[in-house]
Structures are given as C-alpha cells and as structure tokens.
Chain A
Amino acid sequence: MATKTPEQINDDLLRPLSGISGRYALSAALLAGVAVAAFCAFFYQAYTGLGVSGLRWPVFWGFYITNFVFWIGLSHAGTLISAILRLSNATWRRPVTRCAEVITVFALSIGAMFPIIHLGRPWLAFWLFPYPSERRIWPNIHSPLLWDFFAINTYLIASVTFLLLPIIPDMALVRDRAAGLRKKIYRALALGWTGTPKQWHRLETAMHVMAIVVIPVAVSVHSIVSWDFAMAPVPMWHSTIFAPYFVCGAIFSGIAALLLAMALLRKFLHLEEYLLPIHFENLGKLLLVMSVLWFYFIFAERLTTWYGNSVGEMPVFWATQHGSYAPLFWTMMFCNFLIPVPILAIRKLRSITGTAIASFTIVIGMWLERFLIIVPSLSHKYLTYSWGTYRPTWVEITITAGTFSGLALLYMIFSKVVPIISIWELKVGLRQVPHSARIIVEPKEVGAD
C-alpha cells in the first residue's frame, strides 16, 4: 500500500461501489429472505399476542432481552474503539475506523428494537417518550428502562454523527466521479463539500471533540444496560460488579465483531492491500487482553457468589455450573476464553484466519453469556415455588436469526453505497508514515523523497 498514489487509492476503494456481482445479489437475497421471515414472525406475534413466544411465568425475559443486551454490547465495536484509537493517535486505525463505526450504528439500531419487540404491544412504545400527554402519565425517571431510553438515544445520535461527519469528504469524492442520477444523489450527500482548509479544520476539530464526548457516553450506555438487571433484587443480578463487567463484555464482543467484519470485507471486497495483517495483529492483541479481563470479571463474580453461599444465589450458581444450564455455561467458557486465548496468545496463530476463528467463537460465547445472565436467574428466584423453565419458540428464534441477517444485509448495502474505508483519512495516514517510506502521494515527476 505504501507505493499507492492517491488516484490508485481512489480506484481501489471506490471499486466496490460500482456494480453488483451475482454472488453479492444471491447473498443479499438470502439475507433479505431471513430478515423478511423475522418481520413476518414479529407481525404474527404482534397480531396474536406475546403468548406465541416462550415467555412464561416466571421467565419473562428470554431471547428478546438477551438479544437486546447482546446487540447493544456489540455496538461498542465501533464508536468507542474508534474514538479511543483516534484520541491515542494510533495511525494504524485509519482503515479500521469506518468498518467499526458502521457496526455500532446498525447494531445499536437493531438492539434498540428489542425492547419494542418484547413489549408485545409495540404500538404503545411511545409511552416511554418523555412528553406531556393527556394520559397525565409521565415516564418514571426512577426506572432503568427510561435511563436506557436516554442513554441509547444519546449514543445512537452520537454514533450516527461520528460515522457520518467523516463520510462527507468521501461523498464529495464519489460525486466527482459519478454520472447521471448517482451524481445527483452523491451531490446531495456531499452537502456541497469542496475541501477548503476551513472545512477540513472544522471537521477535524469536530471529530476530536466527538471522540472525547463519545467515550463516556459509550461507557454509560452499557453501564445503564447492566443496571436494568443490577437494580432488581434477583439472585446474581443485584451486584455492584455488573456495570464494569458489562462494559468489559461489550468491548470484548465489539472487537470480536469488528475483526469478523474486517475479515469478511477483506475477502469479499478484495481489500487485501488495505486491511493488513498488522490490523488483525493489533486488534487481536486487544481481543486477548479483553478475553483475560472478561475471565477475571467472571471469576471474581463466581468466586464471590460461591464464597458468600447465599441461599438465594446458590441454586442459580449450581444450575449454571452442573445443572440444566451447565452445557451452555461451559460452551461459553470454551468460546470466550479457552479457545481464543491460545489462538490470540501464540503469535503464529494470531493470523487473519486465527483472529477470525477466535472472533467467531467469542461472538457465540458472548451471546450465550447474555442468555446465562438473564434466564437462569429468572428461573431460580428466591422461593422454590417460583422456579420454572424457559424454552424459546420458533417466533423468537426466527426474529433472532433475522436480526443477524439484517445486520449483515445492512452492512453489505452500506459497503455498496459508501466507501467502507475512509479514503481521505487513509491518505493522511500514508503521508504520516516514517520519512524513509514517504514515497507515496507525491507524483513521480515532482520527485519522491
């Protein structure tokens, strides 16, 4: 990549925007099919009632809330990681940030849908909005669900902004190369960007300010999601460790999702010269740290519970250790720690394939972790008369599968409309490589260093 001229970079990164291959169309159709099935399942549930789901007393939080926590956690892939890398001025971040920020926006949007799906009567979702109404009922500020409303919306607005602002110059780039209707669309999306020093300076300042603001917002979002549980006197929920434990898990699953997305983009959009092994190597190291940190949190939580030997909490504890939830628990341990740590710790294995495999197992493991936080506790409350089981129905499974397909489909569409790597930021990064390697952007006739 170091020998690429700006024009070659434009060509390479704008190529995915032109034309649709048969393989792309087929993949999109398959994903759209699953997403449509999920929509049908959702409308069936809305029409028939929440009874078509597996939610029964005492387990009223099942797949939907698991998905809610999982997707909100996954959304930490982008904006948070991108903001940290921006502020730490990590130059290797440049091809990675947009891939990551896109995951945030889509995962957050999907995650935010689940409380509405879970309502059973989704048309009453607006009751959560804080506005005066003739019902004379204001939302209860003391409810963690309302905190979710504020936190998720703030994070979504910040993330969308954080994603869209650096896209404007790239839209101008596409505008100048497009023709016909595409030119008109990209002209509108470029907002009249011309690239004056004032515009560049304001954009860079705005991105810096946004990076500072978005980090505490991201941390607050998953803390607040954890407080949905920690505020309730349910066994193994009412814990002070939950907020940092959730934030750690969110970043963990977020990095895994990012690595997986990068590996797929690299292969299918032929970005081998831009998403380099060093990016997977660096993010793989970060993933290793998060895996160990995640294990530390789960160990601390489990040890404290076991040592406390509380009558209310031990049934939940044993149900996950060697009871009915044990297979899921130990699968989670394998997926989140025992498989990825050796892969990520041994340098030879920390390849693109290795990090992708580790990331895949972590995404599965983190979904199981969310499930295991929610369902065993609700099915083993303090009094044995309230013990029960939970079994998801085809409606919940279809909706869950549909959201995974939906994210993949949205990502595919996005990568056909917007350069998935920030072109201008990449060029800036290339100019900042060490002096000995500055052979890149200056055309040959002027003379390279």
Chain B
Amino acid sequence: MPIPPAIYGLFPDPDSAERGMNALNRAGISPRRIVVMSAEPFDGYSFTQMDERTPMPWLAPMGGLVGGILGFLLARLTQEAYPYPLITGGMPLLAAWPTGIITYECTMLGAVLATVATLLISTKLPNWKPKLYDPEVSHGKILIGVLDPSDAARPEIENRLRGAGAEKVKIIGVSPAS
C-alpha cells in the first residue's frame, strides 16, 4: 500500500507545534486529516488532545470478569470431571479457598490480556506497512501535517506551517508537476 499524499511540518518544540496545530485549525482543515507524531507524549497541549476516549479502563475489568469465570469453571469442572467425583471422606469436593485462588489469578490474567489486546487493536499495532512517518521525529521533532491535501490548499498549508515555526516543511506522495 503506498504512502498517502501529505504535507507536514517538523517543529522543534511543543509550543511551536501548538501554533502549527492552531494554524491548521484556523485554515479549516478537518481534524480527521491532521496527523501528529512525536517521540514522547506531550500532555496538556491541544495537538495531543485527539482520540483520547478509550474503553480500556472498562475493558480491563470485563476481561478480568471473563478470566475469573473461566478460572472458576476450570477449578470447579476439574474437580467434578470424569473419572471424578473423588471419594473425599465427607470433605467438600469443591473447596472454596483453593478455587478462590485459581479464580483470583485468572481474573488478574484476564484483565492483563484484555488491556494488552485493547492497546494493540486500538492502535493497530503491529503494523509494518509503509505509512507517513519521518525519522526526524525520533530526533525530537514534532510532526504536524495534513493527509491528502488538495492542490489548491497546499501552498496555504505550507505557509501556515512555516509561519507557526516549522523548521522544515515536506511534501510527499505528490508529483512536482501536479
């Protein structure tokens, strides 16, 4: 899959990146077409306040619930399985305390696995397909850009990104003739 056409600026610090983001918003660019990348999370800046809603804090307990039920069933059914029931001399076949331990551990395991699964699925990782990225991001630059810009809007976006403080503005996936 080819990399989609894009225009982006590389900003040296979060304050200029914030200005770049505001400039794109003022230009009427749809937030869905704006792309941001950084080598670290910048909490408290508007350019990072996108896609913040996640069901992860709810899915983890749900995963725990499923794990706990499976753990309980495992503990219970193994004690009652063929060729059981065992002769226990009047002692309870399904002992609450040991079953509780297995249920507890499986609950926690379910929560862990649900958390990891939610992370990987929601961030679409792993994904080794070619995509928009600039290695300068890992050198501390913040990438702010627009996916699939129209020919008419490109000069204005470029000007706005430069005006906001972008050190470099790059255009990819668009032939120079277009």
Which stretch from B22-30, B97-105, B155-163 is at the chain A interface? Answer: B97-105
Encode A129-146 as 1/0 by CB contact (under 8 A) with B.
010100010110110001
Contact of A7 among B82, B111, B116, B140 (CB under 8 A): B140
Give the chain B neighbours of A194 by CB distance below 8 A: 37, 131-133, 137
- The answer, yes or no, to whether A419 is at the interface (CB within 8 Å) is no
**Does B98 contact A197, Cβ atoms closer than 8 Å?**
no
Q: Which residues of B contact A (CB under 8 A)?
A: 12-13, 15-16, 35-42, 47-52, 54, 56-57, 60, 64, 71, 74-75, 78-79, 81-84, 95, 98-99, 101-102, 104-106, 108-109, 111-113, 115-116, 118-119, 122-129, 131-133, 135, 137-140, 165
14 sampled A-B residue pairs with Cβ under 8 A: A10-B139, A130-B74, A141-B79, A158-B109, A173-B138, A192-B131, A194-B137, A195-B40, A197-B50, A203-B119, A213-B112, A217-B105, A446-B15, A446-B16
**Does A209 contact B57, Cβ atoms closer than 8 Å?**
yes
Other CB < 8 Å A-B pairs besides A132-B81, A173-B39, A201-B52, 15 of them?
A10-B139, A141-B79, A151-B105, A194-B132, A195-B38, A198-B122, A200-B38, A200-B48, A203-B123, A204-B41, A205-B56, A206-B56, A209-B57, A213-B64, A220-B101
- The answer, yes or no, to whether A266 is at the interface (CB within 8 Å) is no
A interface SS class: helix
Q: Which residues of A contact B (CB under 8 A)?
A: 5-7, 10, 130, 132, 136, 138-139, 141-142, 146-147, 150-151, 153-154, 157-158, 161, 165, 168-169, 172-173, 175-177, 187-188, 191-206, 209-210, 213-214, 216-217, 220, 224, 424, 427-428, 431, 441-443, 445-446
Give the chain A neighbours of B35 by CB distance below 8 A: 196
Contact of B115 among A139, A172, A196, A209 (CB under 8 A): A209
Contact of A165 among B57, B60, B111, B116 (CB under 8 A): B116
**Does B41 contact A176, Cβ atoms closer than 8 Å?**
no
Give the chain A neighbours of B95 by CB distance below 8 A: 141-142
**Does A427 contact B125, Cβ atoms closer than 8 Å?**
no
A95 to chain B, nearest CB (A): 15
Give the chain B neighbours of A147 by CB distance below 8 A: 98, 101-102, 105
Give the chain B neighbours of A193 by CB distance below 8 A: 125
**Does A198 contact B51, Cβ atoms closer than 8 Å?**
yes
Give the chain B neighbours of A141 by CB distance below 8 A: 75, 78-79, 95, 98-99, 102
Chain A: CB-nearest residue to B101: A147
A97 to B50 alpha-carbon distance, docked (Å)? 28
Given that A138-B78, A196-B37 are contacting pairs, would A165 and B108 also be in contact in the complex, using a CB cutoff of 8 Å?
A: no
**Does B123 contact A172, Cβ atoms closer than 8 Å?**
no
B113 to chain A, nearest CB (A): 8
Give the chain A neighbours of B16 by CB distance below 8 A: 446
Give the chain B neighbours of A139 by CB distance below 8 A: 78
**Does A216 contact B108, Cβ atoms closer than 8 Å?**
yes
A442 to B48 alpha-carbon distance, docked (Å)? 18
**Does B39 contact A424, Cβ atoms closer than 8 Å?**
yes
B39 to chain A, nearest CB (A): 6
